[in-house]
């Protein structure tokens, strides 16, 4: 097994290519489509780097996986599938997200509410193959109802549930978020071997520092500023709610959520041939 890491500085997002070195099959996890909100312009530089790596190394892309519906960047899943194929997959909790957000954006005409725009909706505990590797799905709601993590050998891809220990855990103040659910999800991680490698979705390093993409379960249990192994549920809920009350809304939340419910597709063009992003007022 090999894991290749890409870091997008604009959204502080990690994308991973998980490679089965025996068969040369691979999966892309949490891809990024570049989006300039001020100019309302989407570009593909980040996704093209991922595609180039796969092509240059003779890999066969089998899966395009999402850990959740991201609110801070737009997925490149739709674009990547068009260029190198692969089945798209996400946790089955996506149906809860669709039921919540599709009516808010009024995008029912081009956003299936049953999740059929994804090739696979994974249930908790389900396993699937990447070449000779077996990947286990772990539902880890709390940040969003759709959050799912992927366990393979000694690695787990956790999305936004956990950050590097100095940053803590995901926020839970978005619609559908819940501190108790996230606490219980993280307890699942803490049952894994201490040596398990935790691959993060984001890091926000200080100037001059390198971003941290991976830590171990032991490091999280011992040092996570929000939730150590001994932290009680009530203590965590108080910490998390206090912190969330101080956080600003992510800049890309409205374009991200509505496009990511369509795998990063901006939806059907209007009669004039132009695609539009809807901005619902006073709903956050």
Cα radius of gyration rounded to whole Å, the chain: 18
The pLDDT tens digits for 208-222 are 999 999 999 999 999
Token representation of residue 276: 């539009």
Q: Which CATH superfamily is domain 2-248 in?
A: Ribonuclease Z/Hydroxyacylglutathione hydrolase-like (3.60.15.10)
The whole model's pTM is what?
A: 0.97
The pLDDT tens digits for 129-185 are 999 999 999 999 999 999 999 999 999 999 999 999 999 999 999 889 999 999 999
* CA distances (Å), origin 160, targets 23, 99, 129: 29, 21, 23
Q: Give residue for tokens 């796969």.
A: 54
Question: Cβ–Cβ contacts within 10 Å for residue 31, how many?
Answer: 30
Domain definitions of the chain by residue range: 2-248
Transcribe 19-38 into DSSP letters.
Answer: EETTTTEEEEES--BEEETT
The pLDDT tens digits for 241-263 are 999 999 999 999 999 999 999 99
In this prediction, residue 283 has a pLDDT band, given cuts at 50, 70 and 90, of: confident
Which residue, among 168, 162, 156, 118, has the nearest Cα to 142 in the 3D structure?
162
* CA distances (Å), origin 29, targets 148, 174, 176, 271, 281: 12, 23, 23, 34, 32
């Amino acid at each position: 097994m090999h894991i290749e890491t890409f870091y997008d500085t604009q959204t502080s997002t990690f994308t991973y290519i998980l490679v089965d070195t025996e068969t040369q099959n691979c999966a892309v996890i949490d891809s990024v489509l570049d989006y300039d909100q001020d100019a309302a312009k989407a570009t593909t530089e980040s996704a093209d780097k991922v595609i180039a790596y796969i092509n240059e190394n003779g890999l066969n892309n089998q899966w395009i996986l999402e850990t959740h519906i991201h609110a801070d960047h737009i997925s490149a899943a739709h674009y990547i599938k068009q260029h190198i194929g692969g089945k798209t997959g996400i946790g089955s909790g996506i149906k809860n997200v669709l039921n919540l957000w599709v009516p808010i954006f009024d995008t029912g005409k081009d956003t299936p509410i049953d999740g059929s725009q994804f090739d696979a909706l994974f249930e908790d505990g389900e396993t699937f193959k990447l070449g000779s590797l077996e990947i286990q799905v772990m539902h880890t709601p709390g940040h969003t109802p759709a959050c799912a993590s992927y366990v393979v050998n000694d690695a787990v891809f956790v999305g936004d549930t956990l950050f590097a220990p100095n940053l803590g855990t995901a926020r839970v103040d978005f619609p559908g978020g819940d501190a108790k659910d996230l606490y219980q999800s993280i307890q699942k991680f803490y049952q894994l071997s201490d040596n398990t490698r935790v691959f993060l979705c984001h890091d926000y390093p200080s100037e001059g520092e390198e971003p941290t993409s991976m830590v171990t379960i032991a490091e999280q249990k011992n040092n996570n500023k929000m939730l150590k192994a001994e932290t009680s549920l009530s203590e965590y809920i108080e910490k998390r709610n206090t912190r969330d009350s101080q956080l600003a809304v992510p800049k890309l939340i409205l374009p991200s959520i509505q496009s990511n419910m369509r795998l990063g597709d901006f939806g059907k063009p209007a009669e004039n041939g132009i695609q539009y992003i809807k901005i619902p007022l006073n709903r956050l």
